[in-house]
């Protein structure tokens, strides 16, 4: 029996985004406030995922051994450190979230059967690394508030209530939506970045947050004049709106996760899948906690 196990760890450290070959003005242009001396800090949360066969004791690995290895190889060297100087790898490539995850993989791979490293710099910013050279994933979280009504125009109120329950009530209802956008790309060998984070966040704000925030989706977003704004369809539409702008940034849109409430969320894997308009019908999302009840 093959299983994946996960171990969580924490460390606090500071870093600075600064390239000595650039002027102060150029560093500010590239990195903004992150280039300021003497740097800034984060409380990092690390998840180490390992894969293996169960042994006769019902374990993939002894977690006490795993804890010791992670502490010796990663936590002790990095905790309360200035990352730029902590490891030689960060002299060549800046210690961005995605590059720290990559280097942690390199440090742990000789000791553990890794399948993924996930590193949170902040609850709304984290990176995933799966051992593929310089390829990594970066996730940005944001939010918007909007109202919607789940109903099909050609059905009666009673029929819509049978399908959508309370969500079919005539005047709609609202949610504080939490949106996670995951991109995939190559880590730049000097800056340590998949993409300029400020530009990525601004793109998401311009394309999604500002147009969607404080709207009645059925009436204010043209697309939902004909498509029922379920969490699944909202996530698919967000994917279609972001595909081209994200591609122009030099990376690939990988996943959209829309959390409608603590009980209901939806994930859409992106990649090279065709858009809804290309398919001529609603695409199939990956659902988590599927349901229409509030």
Helix (H/G/I), strand (E/B), else coil: 212: helix
The tens digit of pLDDT for each residue in 221-244 reads 999 999 999 999 999 999 999 999
Q: Identify the H or E element spanning 240.
A: helix 231-248
Tell me the per-residue pLDDT of 45-97, one tens digit each, with 9 for 90 and over: 999 999 999 999 999 999 999 999 999 999 999 999 999 999 999 999 999 99
Q: What is the pLDDT of residue 281?
A: 37
Looking at residue 199, its pLDDT comes to 96
Active-site positions read 167, 214, 260
Across the range 27-40, mean pLDDT stands at: 95
How sure is the predictor about 283, in pLDDT bands with cuts at 50, 70 and 90? very low
pLDDT exceeds cutoff 80 at 292: no
Examine domains 1-131 and 135-294 and report if their fold is the same. yes
Q: What percent of the chain has pLDDT over 70?
A: 92
pLDDT tops 60 at residue 288: no
Q: Report the alpha-carbon distance of residue 111 to residue 117 in Å, rounded.
A: 14
Q: Which pLDDT value is given to residue 25?
A: 97
Nearest to 117 by CA among 133, 137, 101, 100: 101
The CATH class of the 1-131 domain is: alpha beta
Q: Which residue has the higher pLDDT, 287 or 55?
A: 55
Q: How many helices (H) and strands (E) does the chain have?
A: 12, 11
Q: Residue 265: left (phi > 0), alpha (psi -120 to 50), or beta? A: beta
On the question of pLDDT at 287 being above 70, the answer is: no
Q: How far apart are CA 173 and CA 108, in angstroms?
A: 48
pLDDT at residue 285 above 60? no
Q: Which CATH superfamily is domain 135-294 in?
A: 6-pyruvoyl tetrahydropterin synthase/QueD (3.30.479.10)
Residue 277: per-residue pLDDT: 38
How far is residue 258's CA from residue 261's CA, in Å, rounded to a whole number? 9
* pLDDT tens for each residue of 174-225: 999 999 999 999 999 999 999 999 999 999 999 999 999 999 999 999 999 9
Q: How far apart are CA 177 and CA 196, in angstroms?
A: 25
Tell me the two tokens of residue 32: 């903004």
Helix (H) or strand (E) holding 176: strand 173-186
Q: How much of the chain exceeds pLDDT 90, in percent?
A: 91
Q: Residues for the chain: how many in total?
A: 294
The pLDDT of residue 290 is above 70? no
Query: CA-CA distance, 294 to 158, in Å (whole number)?
Result: 19
Domains of the chain, by residue range, sit at 1-131, 135-294
pLDDT digits (tens, 9 = 90+) for 119-165: 999 999 999 999 999 999 999 999 999 999 999 999 999 999 999 99
């Amino acid at each position: 029996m093959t299983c994946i196990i996960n171990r969580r760890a924490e460390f606090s450290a500071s870093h600075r985004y600064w390239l000595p070959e650039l002027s102060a003005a150029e560093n500010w242009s590239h990195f903004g406030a992150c280039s300021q001396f003497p740097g800034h800090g984060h409380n990092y949360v690390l998840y180490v995922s390992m894969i293996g066969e169960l042994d006769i004791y019902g374990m993939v690995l002894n977690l006490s051994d795993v804890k010791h290895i992670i502490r010796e190889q990663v936590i002790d060297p990095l905790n309360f450190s200035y990352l730029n100087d902590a490891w030689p790898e960060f002299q060549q490539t800046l210690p961005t979230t995605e590059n720290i995850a990559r280097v942690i993989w390199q440090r742990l791979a000789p000791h553990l059967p890794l399948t993924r490293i996930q590193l949170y710099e902040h609850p709304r910013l984290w990176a995933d690394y799966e051992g593929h050279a310089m390829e990594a994933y970066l996730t940005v979280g944001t939010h918007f508030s909007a109202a919607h009504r789940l109903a099909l125009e050609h059905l009666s109120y009673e029929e819509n209530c049978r399908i959508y329950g309370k969500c079919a009530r005539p005047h709609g209802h609202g949610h504080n939506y939490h949106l996670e956008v995951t991109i995939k790309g190559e880590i730049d060998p000097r800056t340590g970045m998949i993409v300029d984070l400020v530009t990525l966040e601004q793109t998401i704000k311009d394309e999604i947050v500002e147009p969607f925030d404080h709207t009645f989706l059925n009436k204010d977003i043209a697309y939902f004049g004909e498509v029922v704004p379920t969490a699944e369809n909202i996530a698919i539409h967000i994917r279609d709106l972001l595909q081209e702008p994200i591609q122009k940034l030099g990376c690939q849109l990988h996943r959209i996760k829309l959390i409608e409430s603590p009980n209901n969320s939806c994930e859409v894997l992106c990649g090279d899948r065709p858009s809804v308009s290309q398919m001529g019908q609603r695409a199939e999302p990956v659902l988590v906690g599927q349901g229409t009840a509030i």
